[in-house]
Amino acid sequence: MDVGEALRKAISRFMGQASHDKEALEELIRDIQRALLSADVNVELVMELSENIRRKAAESRPPPGVSRRDHIFKILYEELVRLLGGVQPPYKPRGKPHVLVTVGIQGSGKTTSVAKLSYYLVKHGYKVGVVCADTYRPAALIQLQQLLQDKGIPVYGEEDSSDSTSIARRGIENLKSKGLDIIIVDTAGRHKDQDSLMREMEEILKTLSPDEVVLVLDATIGQRARSQAEAFNRVAKIGWVMLTKMDTSARAGGALSAVAATGAPIRFIGTGEHLEDIETFSADRYLARLLGMPDLAGLVERVKLAEVRISEDAAEKMMSGRFTLPDMINQLKEVAKMGPLDRLFSMLPLPKVKSIDVEELEEQVKRWEAVVNSMTPEERRDPTIIDSSRARRIARGAGVAERDVKQLIKRYNETRRLMKTLKRSAGRMPRDLLLGLGRKEFERDTLKG
Ligand SMILES: Nc1nc2c(ncn2[C@@H]2O[C@H](COP(=O)(O)OP(=O)(O)OP(=O)(O)O)[C@@H](O)[C@H]2O)c(=O)[nH]1
Ligand SMILES: [Mg+2]
């Protein structure tokens, strides 16, 4: 069973459980651990992921309208993305020309990747040139020329020189005159030992001081990817990693996690021997494909939307303590408007389980809105003046129980208190925090209220 299938099974099993209590969560974590470890993912990272899921599931409450099941699923998804190195913005080489030097051990796929990458970038509108600075591999230049045959990509190389640094320097000079956007330098991997390879890389990189150093790694080497990445990183700061041969290894988890642990992002992956076999690597998309759920990211986005978006203005008000009761009601209405998430989940190849009903939330908001409407402007501005007799009057006017009035005021005070302790975070706040609404209380209040 491959890792994707194992993960899929683990998630499916969890989603299909009747209850999503601690026990079910532990079972999910165990299944996920097994799946990741079988894919050669680093044990420490697996443990960290497990601990994060446990902690986040315990610390954060699902926003109203989102079931605990979906909430845990979102946490798991985000942790898996993080494990894969997080989400990277699209690749945009800058500089005129942008000089990129590849490094990597023998056979890792440098030359193939240089050809793939240059072809890929040309297809994306860049003007690209390539330099062969490998003086160790026999016919290294011919290999590169053949790969890029008829592609209109200039390849610079010198058959008779053995000084790779000078070749690279001259190559860049030569190609610069062609007004290129990007120059990619292919280097040698075939040295008699690692030390001499590292020394050559150090010299080349010092002389060229490129805009970017790209490490080419073979995905089939598993955990060893980490020590390789670290060794090269000592010579020069690795800008990003190209992970090759992703098509041939079912245990790519080793390399993926090893690289993620070094902090250098994976930008591209090689998925075959042909020039077209290159893909941008995006942790979320990769995961979606691994799990066989193409809509996954969209789904998770939807769950995230359940964290209500607060306008700059509203955030400002909250922070300064000017957040009023009507403001809170307005935000609550926004939340209720977003509708149930069930439909989205039903589109996925997962067992159908009912999420919590948002209608319950709508009912609650309606009651609270009525409460606010039957307050005087003065009371709305400053609910602290509402004593028992005022509360009774308001409740009568709103056609609700006095309890509802007290509850709303309590909620408002809690929310305000929380606001004060909160730093402003890009205009976003978890919606359960905004609501100040505990799930248990919510269920008790709405179901029995
Ligand atoms: N299946 C598969 N094969 C690949 C991929 N990338 C490279 N290869 C193969 O791996 C072998 C080595 O690739 P090269 O590009 O020559 O490796 P290199 O790092 O330049 O090797 P040296 O120049 O000797 O250091 C070749 O047979 C490539 O076809 C890939 O993504 N998938
Ligand atoms: Mg090569």
CA dihedral 217, 218, 219, 221 (to 10 degrees): -110
Pocket test for ligand 1, best of 144, 198, 243, 244 (most atoms within 8 A of CB): 244
What kind of architecture, by CATH, is found in domain 307-448? Orthogonal Bundle (1.10)
How far is it, in rounded angstroms, from Cα 187 to Cα 204? 9
Chain-centroid distance, C-alpha 439 = 27
Domain 3-87+293-302 fold is Four Helix Bundle (Hemerythrin (Met), subunit A) (1.20.120)
Which residues surround ligand 1 with Cβ inside 6 Å? 104, 106-112, 134, 137, 189-190, 244-245, 247-248, 270-273, 277
Atom of ligand 1 nearest to the CA of 114: 15
Residues sharing a CB contact under 8 Å with residue 138, sequence separation 6 or more, in sequence order: none
Nearest Cα residue to atom 6 of ligand 1: 109
Nearest Cα residue to atom 30 of ligand 1: 245
How far is it, in rounded angstroms, from Cα 345 to Cα 303? 11
Neighbours of ion ligand 2 (CB under 5 A): 110-111
CA 437 to ligand 2 centroid distance, Å: 60
Q: Would you tell me which CATH number, out of the four given (3.40.50.300, 3.40.30.10, 1.20.1250.20, 3.20.20.140), belongs to the domain 98-281?
A: 3.40.50.300
Any idea which residue has 């005022």 for tokens?
Answer: 390
CA 189 to ligand 2 centroid distance, Å: 7
Nearest Cα residue to atom 7 of ligand 1: 109
How high is the pLDDT of residue 254? 76
How high is the pLDDT of residue 227? 87
**Ligand with the closest atom to the CA of 103:** 1
Are 107 and 218 in contact by the 8 Å Cβ rule? The answer is yes
Task: From first to last of the 449 residues of the chain, give the pLDDT tens digit.
Answer: 677 788 888 988 888 888 889 999 999 999 999 988 887 788 888 999 999 999 999 988 877 667 888 889 889 988 998 888 887 788 888 878 999 999 999 999 999 999 999 999 999 999 999 999 999 988 999 999 999 999 999 999 998 888 999 999 999 999 999 999 999 999 999 887 888 999 999 999 999 999 999 999 999 888 888 889 989 999 989 999 999 998 886 667 778 878 877 788 899 999 999 999 999 888 877 777 777 665 555 556 555 555 444 445 555 665 566 678 887 787 666 655 654 444 333 333 333 333 434 556 677 788 889 999 999 999 998 899 999 999 999 999 999 999 889 988 988 887 676 666 544 433 444 443 443 333 333 333 333 32
Question: Which is nearest to 14 in space by CA: 66, 72, 63?
Answer: 72
Q: How crowded is residue 13: how many other Cβ atoms within 10 Å of its Cβ?
A: 14
How high is the pLDDT of residue 171? 96
Any idea which residue has 């989102």 for tokens?
Answer: 66
How far is it, in rounded angstroms, from Cα 389 to Cα 65? 34
* Terminal-residue alpha carbon distance, the chain: 49
How high is the pLDDT of residue 355? 41
Pocket test for ligand 1, best of 108, 112, 273 (most atoms within 8 A of CB): 112
- Angle at the Cα of 218 (from 216 to 224), degrees rounded to 5? 105
How many CA atoms, within 13 angstroms, populate the side-chain half-sphere of residue 414? 13
CA 216 to ligand 1 centroid distance, Å: 10
How high is the pLDDT of residue 308? 45
CA dihedral 23, 28, 34, 38 (to 10 degrees): 180
CA 210 to ligand 1 centroid distance, Å: 23
Chain-centroid distance, C-alpha 432 = 22
Cis peptide leading into residue 154 (ω within 30°): no
Nearest Cα residue to atom 10 of ligand 1: 109
How high is the pLDDT of residue 294? 56
Write the burial class of residue 58 (CB in 10 Å: 0-12 exposed, 13-18 middle, 19+ buried): exposed
Atom of ligand 1 nearest to the CA of 108: 19
How high is the pLDDT of residue 432? 39
Nearest Cα residue to atom 21 of ligand 1: 107
CA 293 to ligand 1 centroid distance, Å: 30
Element (H, E) at 156: strand 155-156
Atom of ligand 1 nearest to the CA of 269: 31
Are 171 and 157 in contact by the 8 Å Cβ rule? The answer is yes
- Extract the tokens encoding 104: 């990597």
Nearest Cα residue to atom 27 of ligand 1: 273
- Going from the C-alpha of 70 to that of each of 19, 38, 86, 304, 389, the distances in angstroms are 12, 26, 21, 11, 43
Single pTM value for the model: 0.66
How high is the pLDDT of residue 299? 55
How high is the pLDDT of residue 441? 35
CA 260 to ligand 2 centroid distance, Å: 24
How high is the pLDDT of residue 445? 33
Any idea which residue has 């193409």 for tokens?
Answer: 294
CA 232 to ligand 2 centroid distance, Å: 17
Domain segments of the chain: what residues?
3-87+293-302, 98-281, 307-448
Question: Which is nearest to 264 in space by CA: 307, 332, 204, 216?
Answer: 216
- Note the helical H segments in 177-235: 194-208, 224-235
- Angle at the Cα of 49 (from 30 to 24), degrees rounded to 5? 35
Q: Which amino acid is located at 3 in the chain?
A: V
**Ligand with the closest atom to the CA of 132:** 2
How far is it, in rounded angstroms, from Cα 353 to Cα 245? 39
